[in-house]
Amino acid sequence: MMDRKRAKAFTCLHDLVAEIQQYDFQPVELLRYVLRFLEEAMGYQHSLILSLRPDNGKLHSVSGRGFRADEKLHDFPVGQGVIGMAVKLGRAIRINNIGSIIRYSQTIRTRMEEQRPEGSDSTLRSSPSMNSQMVVPIKRKGRTIGTLSVESERPNAFDDADEELLTVVTMLVIEALHELQIAYTSVEMEPKEPDPLPEPAILSAREMEVALLAAEGISNAEIAARLVVSQRTVSTHLERVYRKLDVHSRSALTHYIVSHYGFRPTE
C-alpha cells in the first residue's frame, strides 16, 4: 500500500513540476495552482499555505482550498496548535487521530477566547469533522517563512509518502511565498546572521524534474523522451544540477534527494 501511494505521490510531483515549468505564474497564482493540483492529484481537499509575517511574527493564510474565509487563520501565534508548533519546532508534524483530542482543543480554545484582548483574532481552528492533519514548514535559507498544512476527514489519512511529497512541494513555493512577504512589508527580511546549517540548493522547476527522474535511475535518453527534449538538453540540466548540489554521480544525486529533500525514489 505504501509503495503504491509513494509511486502515486512521485508521479504527482513530476506532473506538478512539469506544469510549473510550462506556465509563468505570479506568486499568488502559483500557490493557488499548487493547492488545486494537489487536490486533483492526491485528494487533499482541505489545504492551507500560511505565511509568517515579518512585522509581527504571526501566521496568516495566503492561499487555501476547502475552507471558508472565516475558517482561515489570521495573526495566529507561533507555538500554538499543530500549525504553530510545526513553525516553532521547524519540522513536520503529523496527527492522525484528531477526533480523540477535539474536546481538549475546544476547551483550550474557549479559555483563550476568554483571555484574549477584544478585537484580536487568534482563535484555534479545530473542525470536528477533521480527523487527520499534516503540517510541513516552508524554509528559506534556514529560516521558516511559512507552512503547508493539509487536513482530512479520514483518520490515519497521512503517512510517510505524504510527508515526503509535501516536503518537496514546499521547495517549489519558497520563492513565491517570499515574494509575497516582500510585497507585504516593502522590505526584504533576511536573517541578521547567516544560518550555520546548509540548506538544499534551490533548483529551477525543470532542473528539479530532471534531477528526480535521474535519481530514479532513468537514463538520459529516457528522460529526454519523457520530457520531449534532446539528450543534450538533459545533459545540460544535469550538469547544472550536479554543480548546484555539489554531487558528481547518479548515486550521489539520489542520496542528496533523499537526505535533503526528504523524498525517496520508488523502487
218-253 pLDDT tens trace: 899 999 998 889 999 999 999 988 988 888 888 888
- 125 — pLDDT class (breaks 50, 70, 90): very low
| Residue range 2-9+17-185, CATH number | 3.30.450.40
Of residues 208 and 59, the one with the higher pLDDT is 59
Closest CA to 77 of 61, 60, 90: 60
Residue 169: enclosing H or E segment and its boundaries? helix 160-185
pTM: 0.65
Q: What is the pLDDT of residue 233?
A: 92
Q: What is the pLDDT of residue 193?
A: 52
Domain ranges in the chain with CATH number 1.10.10.10 = 205-261
Closest CA to 45 of 149, 147, 181: 149
Q: What is the pLDDT of residue 152?
A: 92
The maximal CA–CA distance of the chain, rounded, in angstroms, is 65
The stretch 186-206 carries a mean pLDDT of 57
Of residues 242 and 118, the one with the higher pLDDT is 242
Q: Is the pLDDT of residue 198 over 80?
A: no
Residue 245: enclosing H or E segment and its boundaries? helix 231-245
- Assess if CATH 3.90.1150.10 describes domain 205-261: no
Closest CA to 132 of 46, 32, 38: 46
Q: What is the pLDDT of residue 123?
A: 39
CA 182 remoteness from chain centre: 19
Q: Which amino acid is at 255?
A: H
Q: What are phi and psi of 91, to 5 degrees?
A: -145, 160
Cβ atoms of 261 and 2 within 8 Å: the answer is: no
The Cα angle at residue 149 between residues 255 and 4, in degrees rounded to 5: 50
Cβ atoms of 96 and 151 within 8 Å: the answer is: no
Domain ranges in the chain with CATH number 3.30.450.40 = 2-9+17-185
- 44 — pLDDT class (breaks 50, 70, 90): very high
